[in-house]
Structure 1
Amino acid sequence: MQWVALLTLKHSLRYFRTATYGVPGFPEFVGVATVNEVQMGYCDSNIKTAKPKQDWAMTLFEKNPNHLEWYSQRCLRSQHVLRAEMNSLKQRLNLTEGPHILQRMNGCEWDDETGEITGYNQYGYNGEDFLALDLKTLTWTAPKPQAVLTKLTWDTEKATLQENKNFYIYICPKMLKIYVKDGRSFLQKKERPSVSLLQRTPTSVVTCHATGFFPETAEVFWRRDGEEIHEAVEKGDILANNDGTFQMSVEFNVSSVQPEDWKRYDCVFEFSGFKDDIVVKLDKSTIRTNWGKGSQGERTTHKRATENNKEKPEH
């Protein structure tokens, strides 16, 4: 099968920050920077400094150590700011017992064809949307009644609002363009996965397992007669492999499918950035199993999947 890469026109620089209270075994603060959905850097309240997570980012910071120092200082500042904001929210909402999680996602997108710039700054609290900044009106929107008081307070901070606008409209896109240029060979890399059908026993679900793909902007799903199905299907999360690629599985309960109907089903790997999909037909002869002729293949596949799924420490 010939794969044709499509040109990526939209690029993104996003910062994810998380402050926690009363969450055992998790840092009180975590910060992650991504470029085009690929993690570029990381920091937390334990290591107290920014760490590049890609070779091209490390090279960039080695050429410009002030830039890495800027990120480290920003990490420390964000930790204190989010901690103060969480304490303020706890008092304002009259919350005492934990756990509490305050999240902030901000950054920008740049369309390198049209030149359009989009900035955003959003907060979530305990798993729900809390506040979002409207850069056109320089006011905050509050989807929850509990956030209205915070919105009214933050709307009065005109200098901070203008600083936000300058960062998201001018500084952030400028940085993003530098990152895209320096990391282009990595960010545009496309790795084709291997896709297999697995089944532990004759009565088990059939798992469609894709591994070794990059980047992670992919979908795996089951179809019947060319149409995506959701009934009797359970999709797993995208997981990181040790080599920097990703894997993903989606299970299909075939117990109610008659043998003569198996040929109507297939599993599809759909990759953002490629024109052609990988399609694997539901066929007993191609399923790797734990019994009969396919036992060795299944053991090998599961061994590789298990090895790939061992997580490396974040820092």
Structure 2
Amino acid sequence: MKEIILLLLFCHVASPVTHSLKFVHTGSTEVPNFPEFVAVALVDGVQIGHYDSNTKRTESKPDWMNKFIADYPEHLEWHTVRCLDAQQFFKDELQSLKQRFNQTGGVHTYQRTFGCEWDDETGDYVNGFNQHGYDGEDWLVLDLKTLTWIAPTPQAVITKQNWNSNNARLAYRKYFLSQVCIDLLKKYVHYGKSTLQRTVLPSVSLLQKSPSSPVSCHATGFYPDKGMLFWTRDGEELQDLMDQGEILPNHDGTFQRSVQLDVSSVKPEDWGKYECVFQLSGVKEDIVTKLDPAVIKTNNRGINTALVIGVVGLLLLLVICIAGVFICRRNNNGFRPANTLETSSAKAASST
């Protein structure tokens, strides 16, 4: 029993194969060179569609989405109409919020994130979400269990009361997140299966700004976004010395993540006990990178201590040689040996 408990504590259990569909709508005011309204759709963190108030049309991103659009040509129009409605809603909401906060101008943003999650192994609906934010702060969050809006700030209470009194709209929100969104997600995953269900291992590097800075273990280029990255000492995962970073997207659809290790209290002779471990869902073997000063990349552009010592040694040897030549010349009072060719010619002439 004790062994089972320890196993659960120190093993990383593979997470279920969960896919997500997320819509992110952003409205803004007085942001230079940026549309007043932008909407993006993402499957498993990968952007599949884009709309903005300048073009007023939806554009699909990956190649597999073009196949989906070919089979469902009405989908782009459906999404565009929804975005046009959202664009007007965001414009009105921004004006209302600015008045509520006594704001006359300046840069302001209103954002809505909603979507769903689905487990393709069990076929179960996992989760639905819908949350709003204003100027980077939480504004309203939908609790699907109670089917009510929650207001994190006092200023949002009026809006919460108005939205909670609209039972028809609440029922539609639940229907969309638990059925429409899931149906869309299943179709997207079916068409993008070769891309969305692939596994790509990352390249892992150790980085350090200066000898006194933490060592960052950086993994980039992995897919899907279910990569775990952590430091271990003698095979046991560390917690107190680590600073875990968020998973961030790359421009090519892959992801990156980093985790820092504070080495200020680590003795040089103990560095070999530390390892950076990367684990990817669906892949059995881990990528393990030992904490080795020889492989750490720094801001010195590849100049390492051994190279510096070698160059200094060569310069010192050159100085010694030059000094030896001068000493030799001084001891010989400037005498220089005769040219070997001239000496040989003179000997030949005297012998005849």
Tell me if structure 2 keeps the 8 A contact 1:131–1:141.
yes
Aligned residue in 1 for 2:315: none
Aligned residue in 2 for 1:66: 74
- For the pair 1:126 / 2:131, whether they are aligned, the reply is no
Offset, 1:276: 3.8
Letter in 2 for 1:38: V
Match of 1:197 among 206, 215, 218: 206
Give the stretch that moved more between structures: 55-64 or 19-28: 19-28
User: TM-score by structure 2 length?
Assistant: 0.72
Letter in 1 for 2:276: C
Equivalents in 1 of 2:24, 2:166: separation in Å? 23
Question: What are the residue-to-residue correspondences of 1:140-219 with 2, within 5 Å?
Answer: 140-199=149-208, 205-219=214-228
Tell me if structure 1 keeps the 8 A contact 2:19–2:119.
yes
2:96 match: secondary structure: helix
Aligned residue in 1 for 2:268: 259
2:221 match: secondary structure: strand
Letter in 2 for 1:220: L
1:116 match: secondary structure: strand
Greater C-alpha radius of gyration: 2
Letter in 2 for 1:134: D
Unaligned regions of 5+ residues in structure 1, if any? 1-5, 296-315
- For the pair 1:75 / 2:83, whether they are aligned, the reply is yes
Q: Looking at both structures, which has the greater relative contact order when contacts are Cα pairs under 8 Å and sequence separation is at least 6? A: 1
Change (3 A) 1:230 1:84: farther
2:124 match: secondary structure: coil
Number of residues paired by the alignment?
290
1:101 match: secondary structure: strand
Change (3 A) 1:146 1:54: same
* Aligned alpha-carbon RMSD (Å): 2.9
Change (3 A) 1:224 1:23: farther
Change (3 A) 1:198 1:167: closer
Give the stretch that moved more between structures: 257-266 or 6-15: 6-15
Bigger helix fraction: 2
Offset, 1:170: 2.2
Equivalents in 1 of 2:209, 2:149: separation in Å? 52
Equivalents in 2 of 1:50, 1:29: separation in Å? 13
Match of 2:303 among 263, 273, 291: 291
Equivalents in 2 of 1:294, 1:191: separation in Å? 35
Give the stretch that moved more between structures: 117-126 or 246-255: 246-255
Give the stretch that moved more between structures: 134-143 or 43-52: 134-143
Q: State the identity as a percent.
A: 51
Change (3 A) 1:234 1:27: farther
Aligned residue in 1 for 2:316: none
- 1:151-182 alpha-carbon deviations (Å, 9 max, x no partner): 11112223322322222222222112111211
Offset, 1:282: 0.4
Match of 1:88 among 71, 96, 108: 96
Change (3 A) 1:276 1:145: farther
- For the pair 1:227 / 2:237, whether they are aligned, the reply is yes
User: TM-score by structure 1 length?
Assistant: 0.80
Tell me if structure 1 keeps the 8 A contact 2:21–2:43.
yes
